[in-house]
Amino acid sequence: MIVKEEFLSKLRRFFSLNLYEVKIWAALLSRGVSTAGELSDIANVPRSRSYDVLESLEKKGFVVMKLGKPIKYIAVPPTEVLERVKKNMRQEAEEKVKRLEELKGTDVLQELNTLHTQGVELIEPADLSGSLRGRHNLYNHLELTIRNAEQSVIIMTTSQGFMRKIEGLKPVFEKLKKRGVDIKIAAPITKEVMSSVKDIEGVAEVRNTEAEARFCVVDGKELIFMVLNDNDVHPTYDLGIWVNTPFFANALKSLFDLAWNDMKVVKGK
């Protein structure tokens, strides 16, 4: 059986299988019905492992064991396998989420919070900093930082960054607004982003700027700034820096406030 390694890698990634499992499964699909020994030879998998692998595939719904002697296995149609895998993944995800929700009211979470609080008290503020690699990680930490705001959130970003933030963080902004947090966003406002301006109207104040920068300051204490132009970098390689530094963050906030007065107010149409 000649199957490209690239194809096997895709199967492993999409169906969460190990190498032996994808080899045996692909071999069985090419035969329809076969014994463990035959599949072992075709897939180049040790015979001692083929039975364990087929048992695992049977539990996951990829194969069916045929009655009779010798024992043979039947390949489940790939379309049906896809539906079974989706169903299993959905059930597993729901169970994991349920367990995590149940954790909220336990002593375990309280102990974890105690550990974290006591640990943070021993850390110098300058040590609370780190690099954030990849836009996904950047936005996850940005959301975490913004969510804890008590007084103010100021954001300076690009046109594309503005649309991403409104799309991904609007629910967070709305909750902050209800808590009385002041939200200011400065970005180059083009026709392309006017719909996003309208979406955030009444929640955050938006002003137009020609300057290009990417940073966020929360409560004049925490700062996240991106070191690359998002137009020039792939999201995977985007890079940001997070620092908990009231001295620098408050200074940057003061400079932003001065520039803010000269920016043009933008209203959604």
* Average per-residue pLDDT for the chain: 87
Task: Read off the pLDDT of residues 82-110 as tens digits, 9 standing for 90 and up.
Answer: 988 888 888 888 988 888 888 877 877 87
Half-sphere exposure of 65 (CA within 13 A, CB side): 16
| pLDDT > 70? residue 166 | yes
| pLDDT > 70? residue 189 | yes
Give the Å distances, CA to CA, from 49 to 55, 73, 140, 213.
Answer: 10, 15, 41, 56
Residues in the chain: 269
Higher pLDDT, 266 or 174: 174
pLDDT of 84:
87
Task: Read off the pLDDT of residues 221-252 as tens digits, 9 standing for 90 and up.
Answer: 899 999 999 888 899 999 999 988 888 888 99
Which CATH code of 3.30.70.1340, 3.30.70.20, 3.30.450.40, 1.10.10.10 fits the domain covering 5-82?
1.10.10.10
Cβ atoms of 145 and 218 closer than 8 Å: yes
- CATH topology identical between 5-82 and 126-265: no
Number of CB atoms found within 10 A of residue 209's CB: 19
The structural domains of the chain, with segments of one domain joined by +, span 5-82, 126-265
| Single-letter amino acid code for the residue at 95 | E
pLDDT of 116:
62
| pLDDT > 80? residue 1 | no
Task: Read off the pLDDT of residues 204-219 as tens digits, 9 standing for 90 and up.
Answer: 999 999 888 999 999 9
Assigned CATH topology for domain 126-265:
Endonuclease; Chain A (3.30.870)
The pLDDT > 90 percentage for the chain reads: 40
Tell me if the pTM is above 0.75.
no
DSSP string, the chain: ----HHHHHHHHHHHT--HHHHHHHHHHHHHSEEEHHHHHHHHT--HHHHHHHHHHHHHHTSEEEESSSS-EEEEPPHHHHHHHHHHHHHHHHHHHHHHHHHHTTSHHHHHHHHHHHHHHHTS-GGGSEEEEESHHHHHHHHHHHHHT-SSEEEEE--HHHHHHHHHHHHHHHHHHHHTT-EEEEEE---GGGHHHHHHHTTTSEEEE------EEEETTTEEEEE-S-TTTS-GGG-EEEEEE-HHHHHHHHHHHHHHHTTSEE----
| pLDDT > 90? residue 264 | no
Higher pLDDT, 189 or 2: 189
